[in-house]
Amino acid sequence: MRALTLEPGTAGSLRLTDLPDPTPGPGELLVEGLAVGVCGTDKEIVQAEYGWAPPGRDRLVLGHESLGRVSTAPEGSGFTPGDLVVGVVRRPDPEPCGACARDEFDNCRNGRYTERGIKELDGYGAELWCVEPAYAVAVDPALGHLGVLVEPTSVVAKAWEQVRRVGERAWFEPRRALVTGAGPIGLLAAMIGVQQGLEVHVLDRVETGPKPRLVDRLGATYHSGYVEEVASGLQPDVVIEATGVGDLVFAAMGNTAPYGVVCLTGVSQGGRRTRVDAAKVNRDMVLENDVVVGSVNANLRHYRQAAEALAAADRDWLDGLITRRVPLGSFADAFEAGPEDVKVVITLDGGR
Ligand code: BGC
Per-residue confidence band for 328, with pLDDT thresholds at 50, 70 and 90: very high
> Ligand 1: distance of its center to the CA of 45 in Å?
11
Q: Which fold has domain 2-138+314-347?
A: Quinone Oxidoreductase; Chain A, domain 1 (3.90.180)
CA distance 109 to 93: 9
- Say yes or no to pLDDT of 61 above 80: yes
Segment 204-238, tens digit of pLDDT:
999 999 999 999 999 999 999 999 999 999 999 99
Provide, for the chain, the percentages of residues in helix, strand and coil under a 3-state DSSP scheme, each rounded to the nearest 5.
35, 25, 40
- 6: how many CB neighbours lie within 10 A of its CB? 24
Pairwise pLDDT comparison (241 vs 351), residue with the higher score? 241
DSSP state of 88: -
- The C-alpha angle with vertex 26 and arms to 22 and 27, in degrees rounded to 5, equals 100
> Ligand 1: distance of its center to the CA of 296 in Å?
6
Q: What is the mean pLDDT of residues 90-110?
A: 97
With both helix axes pointing from N to C terminus, report the angle between 184-195 and 300-311 in degrees, rounded to the nearest 10: 70
Q: Are 63 and 126 in contact (CB under 8 A)?
A: yes
Burial grade of 188 (CB within 10 A; 0-12, 13-18, 19 or more): buried
Mutate to test the pocket of ligand 1, among 89, 105, 299 (most ligand atoms within 8 A of CB): 89
| Atom 12 in ligand 1: residue holding the nearest Cα | 118
| Atom 1 in ligand 1: residue holding the nearest Cα | 297
> Ligand 1: distance of its center to the CA of 297 in Å?
5
Q: Which fold has domain 154-294?
A: Rossmann fold (3.40.50)
> Ligand 1: distance of its center to the CA of 183 in Å?
15
| Atom 6 in ligand 1: residue holding the nearest Cα | 41
| Atom 11 in ligand 1: residue holding the nearest Cα | 41
Provide the residue type at 319 as one letter: D
pTM of the model: 0.97
Which residues does ligand 1 sit against, CB inside 6 Å? 39, 41, 64, 89-90, 115, 118, 155, 296-297
244 φψ region: left (φ > 0), alpha (ψ -120 to 50), beta (else): left
> Ligand 1: distance of its center to the CA of 100 in Å?
16
Domain with CATH 3.40.50.720 in the chain: 154-294
Q: Which atom of ligand 1 is nearest the CA belonging to 42?
A: 7
Q: Which atom of ligand 1 is nearest the CA belonging to 106?
A: 10
CA distance 31 to 142: 19
> Ligand 1: distance of its center to the CA of 119 in Å?
10
- Say yes or no to pLDDT of 352 above 50: no
> Ligand 1: distance of its center to the CA of 8 in Å?
15
Model pLDDT, residue 268: 83
Segment 264-318, tens digit of pLDDT:
999 887 888 888 899 999 999 999 999 999 999 999 999 999 999 999 999 999 9
Domain with CATH 3.90.180.10 in the chain: 2-138+314-347
Q: Which atom of ligand 1 is nearest the CA belonging to 119?
A: 12
| Atom 10 in ligand 1: residue holding the nearest Cα | 297
**DSSP per-residue string spanning 248-269:** HHHHHHTTPPTT-EEEE-----
Cα–Cα nearest to 159, from 119, 135, 200, 188: 188
Cα–Cα nearest to 241, from 190, 186, 308, 309: 186
